Amino acid sequence: MGGCSSVHIGIFGFEPILHHGSEDLKKRYLPRVPTGELQISFAVTEPDAGIDTTNISTFARKVDGGWLVSGKKVWISNAHQAERMLLLARTTPKEECAKRTDGLTVFFAPMDREKVTIRSIPKMGRNSVDSNELFIDDLFVADEDVVGEVGKGFKVILTGLNAERVVAANAMLGIGEAALRRGTRYANERVVFGRPIGQNQGLAFQLAEAKIRLEAADAVLQKATWLVDQQQPCGAEANYAKWLCAEAGFYAADVALQVHGGMGYSKEYHVERYFREARLMRIAPISQEMVLNYVAEHVLGLPRSY
């Protein structure tokens, strides 16, 4: 999770620029990405909107040569290190839009510390990267730093979300596999009542089920990853992979903790760390319930449930 978290933004964060950015914007910034010189943040979520993205209140008003942006963002990773952020803001009030998804614009905005106050959020896990609240007060963003069309930012921001789900799913598989390896090893080494506890069907079956879940999730993830690489429509597949990998990874971590018994809570065995980190992916980058909402509405054709 630590390794993935530190590179996630460099994988999915630039997708909106790659697909919707002007050639000038790409030439100015993309050459600095592979070297690691350019660090960015993905600033979409807000405290009063959460994943209800169309309900954000951060607003950008037009001025000569650009825009002045004011508002609040929350759970923004890497903000202390970032030079720029992919910032989603309203450029037309929601009540003036024909559709809720209209009137949103993506900016590749500077992280100007004189206009943006950054406040760290203490967390249970995923501490390889910082998470923060942002308070933005009249931040100037030049016209040439708009990504895609003004007012069409919802479509732009969706570009990176399938890749985000896929890389998050990969992280969960990694945690699950690591936890399963430790659980299996301990089950073979720990002797109680004169035999390894792995001979106990109650534990062996749980470990076997964890392996099956991980393998099944990986198969779906490979398909979703291929579709992302081929730039094919894959909203459903990316959501399937995220849901399955989150469940499989967490189940494996939970089983490993169970196999270790009381020692699972000891930092010496690392299992508590896997368990703690695995829990996050059931609510991020979107919750399991929101994945089910998507599948119910967009795959099965059921009425919207939220």
pTM of the entire predicted model: 0.88
The full set of domains in the chain, from first to last, is: 2-151 (2.40.110.10), 161-299 (1.20.140.10)
Quote the CA–CA distance of 177 and 255 in Å, as a whole number: 12
What per-residue confidence (pLDDT) applies to 237?
97
What per-residue confidence (pLDDT) applies to 140?
98
Condensed to tens digits (0 to 9), the pLDDT of residues 113-160 reads: 999 999 999 998 888 889 999 999 999 999 999 999 999 999 998 887
Burial (CB < 10 A; 0-12, 13-18, 19+), residue 164, is buried
Backbone angles phi, psi at 237, to 5 degrees: -65, -40
What per-residue confidence (pLDDT) applies to 290?
94
- If you write DSSP's letter for every residue of 186-202 in order, what string do you get? HHHH-EETTEEGGGSHH
Q: Which amino acid is at 114?
A: E
Q: Which amino acid is at 122?
A: P
Task: Give Cα separations from 241 to 4, 8, 160, 216, 292 (angstroms).
Answer: 16, 16, 15, 10, 12
Condensed to tens digits (0 to 9), the pLDDT of residues 273-287 reads: 999 999 999 998 899
What per-residue confidence (pLDDT) applies to 52?
87
User: Residues of the chain whose pLDDT is less than 50?
Assistant: none
What per-residue confidence (pLDDT) applies to 180?
97
Backbone angles phi, psi at 69, to 5 degrees: -110, 135
What per-residue confidence (pLDDT) applies to 194?
93
| Contact indicator for 81, 40 with CB cutoff of 8 Å | no
Q: What angle do CA 282, 285, 131 make, to 5 degrees?
A: 105
